[in-house]
C-alpha cells in the first residue's frame, strides 16, 4: 500500500477528467456550466460524473500529510518497502535538527555488535543482547509503518519499522513476536515486540537501526548506550558527518586483515564471511600460494 500525497485537488480532478472518455470530458464542462438539463443529459450520466468527482475528493483525503509522522519530509507512506524513498546521502539536506528529547531505550542491555563494517559487510545497526521474550520498546513517539517477516533465513526475521514525529525511522529486528499493527500510533517507551532470534541471527539479540530518509546512521551519535540516554535534547543530522561510516565504506569498500600465526586461508575466509577463492582473487594469489603471519590480505 503506497500512498503518495504529491497531488492537489485540482490535479486529481484533472487526472480524472483526462482519464474519462471524451464524451464524459465534455460532460464535465457542461456540468460546470450547469447546462446538463438543457443538453438533455440523462440522470444516469449525471450520477456517473458526480460519483467520479466524489471519488476524486475521497482519494485526495487519503493523501493528507498531517496523517503521517513527518509527512512534510517524507513523500510517501509504504507498509511493506523498507526504503521506498531511495534518497542518496548526497541528496539529503545539509543539516536537519531532530528533536530527540522523548527518547526511550528499546532495551537497556549491553551492546554486542556496533554499527559499521564487520565480517566483510556493512552492519547498518547496533545489536543488543536480549533474552527471547524480553520487552522491546519504541524509541520515540510515532506511527508503525511496517511489521513483517523478512525473507528467508538471511534477513531481519520478524521486524518492525516505526516512523517518528521527529523525522527519524527506527527498525527493530530478529523479534520473536510483534505486538503492534501497521498504522498504529505508538508512544515512546511503549512495548512494540518481544526479543528473539529470527532471521539471520546466531543467538537472541535485538538489531536496532536509526534511519533518516532511508539512510541508516550510527545510533551512538545521538545516544549514550552506557547510560541509555541521549546526549542532548536535539541532534543535528549533518549530511557530512552523520553518515561518515557509510560514506567511507562506499568510497573505499576495500578492507584488509593482517595474518596472525596459526591462521589458515579457510579460517580467515570463514571469519570474514567470504571464500578462499575470493581472497585468492582479491590478492592475486595462485592456488598454492601460502600465507605468512604479518602479511596484509585484502578480504573485501
Shortest separation between residue 209's beta carbon and Zn ion, angstroms: 8
Nearer to Zn ion, 127 or 141 (CB): 127
- Cβ partners under 8 Å of residue 207, min gap 6: 125, 126, 127, 156, 171, 172, 173, 174, 201
Nearer to Zn ion, 125 or 219 (CB): 125
Shortest separation between residue 173's beta carbon and Zn ion, angstroms: 7
Helices (H) and strands (E) in the chain — how many of each? 6, 21
Nearer to Zn ion, 52 or 215 (CB): 215
What DSSP line would sit under 151-192, residue for residue?
STTTS-SEEEEEEETTSEEEEEEEESEE---TT-EE-TT-EE
Which residue number has the CB closest to Zn ion? Answer: 207
Shortest separation between residue 208's beta carbon and Zn ion, angstroms: 8
Q: Give the interface segment with Zn ion, choosing from 4-12, 99-107, 158-166, 199-207 (CB under 5 A).
A: 199-207
- Cβ partners under 8 Å of residue 147, min gap 6: 158, 159, 160, 178, 180, 181, 182
Is 127 near Zn ion (CB under 5 A)? Answer: yes
Angle of helix 22-32 relative to helix 9-19, nearest 10 degrees, comes to: 130
CB 66 within 8 A of CB 60: no
Nearer to Zn ion, 74 or 208 (CB): 208
Q: Give the interface segment with Zn ion, choosing from 176-184, 204-212, 244-252, 288-296 (CB under 5 A).
A: 204-212
Shortest separation between residue 124's beta carbon and Zn ion, angstroms: 8
| Per-residue mark of binding to Zn ion, 65-104 (x: CB under 5 A) | ----------------------------------------
C-alpha separations of 281 from 124, 233, 266, 299 in Å:
27, 49, 14, 10
Percent of the chain that is helix, strand, coil (3-state, to 5): 25, 30, 50
| Contact with Zn ion (CB under 5 A) among 145, 164, 207, 221 | 207
Measured in whole angstroms, the distance separating CA 193 from the mean position of its chain's CA atoms is 17
Nearer to Zn ion, 24 or 113 (CB): 113
- Cβ partners under 8 Å of residue 18, min gap 6: 25
Q: Which three cell numbers stand for residue 125?
A: 545497526
Is 209 near Zn ion (CB under 5 A)? Answer: no
How many residues bind to Zn ion according to rule CB under 5 A? 3
Q: Which three cell numbers stand for residue 270?
A: 570463514
DSSP, collapsed to helix, strand or coil, labels residue 98 as strand
Q: Give the interface segment with Zn ion, choosing from 44-52, 189-197, 203-211, 283-291 (CB under 5 A).
A: 203-211
Nearer to Zn ion, 129 or 239 (CB): 129
Nearer to Zn ion, 105 or 125 (CB): 125
Beta-bridge partners for 173: 207
Is 145 near Zn ion (CB under 5 A)? Answer: no
Shortest separation between residue 157's beta carbon and Zn ion, angstroms: 11
Nearer to Zn ion, 208 or 235 (CB): 208
Shortest separation between residue 241's beta carbon and Zn ion, angstroms: 23
Contacts with Zn ion, residue ranges (CB under 5 A): 125, 127, 207
Amino acid at each position: 500500500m503506497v500512498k503518495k500525497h504529491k497531488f492537489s485537488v485540482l490535479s486529481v480532478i484533472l487526472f480524472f477528467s483526462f482519464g474519462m472518455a471524451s464524451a464524459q470530458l465534455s460532460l464535465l464542462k457542461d456540468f460546470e456550466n450547469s447546462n446538463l438539463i438543457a443538453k438533455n443529459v440523462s440522470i444516469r450520466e449525471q450520477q456517473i460524473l458526480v460519483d467520479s468527482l466524489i471519488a476524486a475528493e475521497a482519494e485526495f483525503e487519503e493523501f493528507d500529510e498531517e496523517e503521517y509522522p513527518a509527512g512534510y519530509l517524507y513523500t510517501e507512506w509504504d507498509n511493506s518497502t523498507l526504503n521506498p524513498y531511495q534518497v542518496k546521502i548526497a541528496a539529503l539536506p545539509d543539516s536537519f535538527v531532530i528533536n530527540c528529547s522523548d527518547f526511550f531505550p528499546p532495551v537497556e542491555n549491553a551492546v554486542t555488535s556496533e554499527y559499521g563494517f564487520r565480517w566483510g559487510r556493512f552492519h547498518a545497526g547496533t545489536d543488543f543482547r536480549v533474552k527471547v521474550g524480553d520487552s522491546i520498546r519504541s524509541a520515540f513517539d510515532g506511527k508503525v509503518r511496517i511489521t513483517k517477516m523478512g525473507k528467508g533465513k538471511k534477513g531481519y526475521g520478524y521486524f518492525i519499522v516505526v516512523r517518528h514525529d521527529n523525522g527519524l525511522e527506527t527498525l527493530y529486528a530478529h523479534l520473536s513476536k510483534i505486538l503492534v499493527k501497521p498504522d498504529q500510533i505508538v508512544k515512546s517507551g511503549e512495548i512494540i515486540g518481544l526479543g528473539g532470534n529470527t532471521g539471520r541471527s546466531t543467538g537472541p539479540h535485538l538489531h536496532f537501526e536509526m534511519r533518516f530518509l532511508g539512510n541508516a546512521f550510527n545510533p551512538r551519535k545521538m545516544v549514550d548506550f552506557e547510560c541509555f540516554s541521549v546526549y542532548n535534547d536535539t541532534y543535528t543530522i549533518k549530511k557530512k558527518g552523520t553518515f561518515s561510516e557509510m560514506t567511507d565504506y562506499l568510497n573505499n569498500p576495500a578492507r584488509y586483515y593482517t595474518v596472525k600465526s596459526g591462521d589458515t586461508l579457510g579460517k580467515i575466509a570463514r571469519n570474514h564471511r567470504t571464500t578462499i577463492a575470493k581472497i585468492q582473487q582479491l590478492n592475486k594469489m595462485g592456488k598454492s600460494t601460502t600465507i605468512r603471519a604479518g602479511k596484509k590480505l585484502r578480504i573485501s
